[in-house]
Amino acid sequence: MGKNKIIIGIIYLLIVLIFLIFFFRYFSIDEITSYDFYKDNRDILIQFKEQSLIFTIIIFICGVWAWVMLAGFGSPVVLFSGFLFGTYLGTILSTIALALGATTFYLFANFFVKDLVENKFGKKFSYLKSFFEKNEFFYLFLYRLVGGIPFAISHVIPTIFNVKWKNFFFAHLGMVPQIYILSTIGNSISEIINTNDTPPSIMEIIFLPKIYLPILGFIVFILLSISVRKKIFKKGW
């Protein structure tokens, strides 16, 4: 078993390394965070999507899977999905892709660091065990819906409770409300870029109805999540 873990771990590191080499061979951090990059490439991306939607979806899902395995968080890719695919398709694709990436992350964590996680966090989260034993899927769903734990860590904590991977995967439906809001913002950013040759100021962007309304919705959702979390999980997360 020990040798198998080492081999799988080496394969995983090689995949990560190949992805990083490939990515930074063509892009730099400054480039992909600039307004001009998205302005110049928006039409190219959309044209490519329209010519081969299925292939674009496959590339996106594989890219998100790699991103989650590497970075562990999903907000940037959800914004990008709204930017490229629009609000509704972006929401669907992001939910599927994030679920695939997170579930793979969970399986790796369950195989490699389960004992470490249990020793580190077992006592802190022991009070949740009774919740998961009552209805594993429901509380995993709620766990995703109300949040409160960084996305990457939330893939690891369930290893303490030996949750089934199928329940872990489908419980990501609980993230649909927040994914929908972020996809809406991404779609609005795409429209702003399409109609502005020069980058608008942050304040101009924020106070556009297409932007501030989803942001307000996101804030309301977070506040409601905190309230629900306090009522159901009285000890906090």
For residue 108, what are the domain limits? 35-232
pLDDT in tens, 115-170: 777 777 767 777 777 777 778 888 788 778 776 565 666 777 788 888 888 988 99
Tell me the pTM.
0.77
When the pLDDT of each residue in the chain is averaged and rounded to a whole number, the result is 78
Q: Is residue 20 part of a domain?
A: no
Average pLDDT, stretch 207-227?
Answer: 75
- Residues 164-204: tens digit of each pLDDT: 889 889 988 988 988 988 888 888 888 788 777 776 676 76
Indicate if the pLDDT at residue 37 is higher than 60. yes
Per-residue pLDDT reduced to its tens digit, 61-107: 988 888 887 766 677 888 889 989 999 999 999 999 999 988 988 88
Look at the alpha carbons of 183, 233, 70, 36 in this order and tell me if their dihedral is positive or negative.
positive
**Is 163 within 8 Å of 141 (Cβ atoms)?**
no
Q: What is the pLDDT of residue 58?
A: 93
Within a domain: residue 30? Answer: no
CB atoms within 10 A of CB 189: 20
* Per-residue pLDDT band at 236 (split at 50, 70, 90): very low
Helix (H, G, I), strand (E, B) or coil at 30: helix
Res 207: pLDDT: 73
Which residue in 168, 148, 127 sits closest to 225, CA to CA? 148
Least confident of 28-32, 109-113, 137-141, 152-156: 28-32
**Is 5 contained in some domain?**
no
User: Where is mean pLDDT largest: 18-32, 36-50, 82-96?
Assistant: 82-96
**24 secondary structure, DSSP code:** H
Position 83 in a domain = yes
The answer to the question of residue 154 being in a domain is yes
**Count of the separate structural domains present in the chain:** 1
Residue 187, SS3 per DSSP: helix
3 part of a folded domain: no
Residue 40 located in a structural domain: yes
